[in-house]
């Protein structure tokens, strides 16, 4: 399944993924290959990307997802990616992602949940 995440400042993620978990405005939703076509808005939270080579996170403040059979297109306002390719500034991005959550998430539980995810993935990456 092809996933593409774009923000006004540029492309955040593009590539083949095996599954992706989105912070849908109605609650978290997982998307696998062959999902039925759907459009939905995303709220502040983390997009959890699972690839063959590992796991990546993207923290977003708002988003819009267009899901079709074999691809997922997401446009977001602000995004902080956490991935293995930029090892040296992970700590920096973790702090930024946490701040983004604190600024935009609607409840303290949501913030705590997102932070937990961010930290667990960041640990694996470092």
Q: Which helix (H) or strand (E) holds 48?
A: strand 45-51
The residues, ordered by sequence, that sit 6+ positions from 120 with a Cβ below 8 Å of its Cβ are none
Q: Which residues in the 83-112 window bind another protein by CB under 8 A? A: none
Which of the stretches 1-9, 83-91, 101-109, 115-123 binds another protein when contact is defined by CB under 8 A?
Answer: 1-9
Burial class (CB in 10 A: 0-12, 13-18, 19+), 6: middle
Applying CB under 8 A, the site for another protein has a residue count of 21
Nearest distance from C-beta of residue 40 to another protein, angstroms: 4
**Which residues bind to another protein, rule: CB under 8 A?**
4, 6-11, 24-26, 36-41, 64, 66, 73, 75, 77
């Amino acid at each position: 399944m092809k996933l593409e995440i774009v923000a006004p400042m540029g492309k955040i993620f593009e590539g083949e993924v095996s599954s992706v978990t989105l912070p849908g405005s109605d609650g978290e939703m997982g998307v696998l290959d062959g999902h039925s076509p759907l459009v939905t808005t995303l709220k502040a939270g983390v997009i959890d990307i699972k690839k063959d080579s590992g796991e990546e996170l993207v923290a977003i403040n708002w988003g819009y997802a267009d899901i079709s059979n074999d691809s997922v297109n997401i446009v977001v306002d602000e995004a902080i990616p956490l991935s293995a390719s930029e090892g040296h500034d992970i700590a920096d991005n973790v702090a930024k992602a946490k701040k983004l959550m604190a600024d935009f998430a609607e409840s303290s539980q949501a913030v705590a949940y997102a932070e937990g995810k961010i930290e667990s993935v960041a640990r694996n990456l470092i």
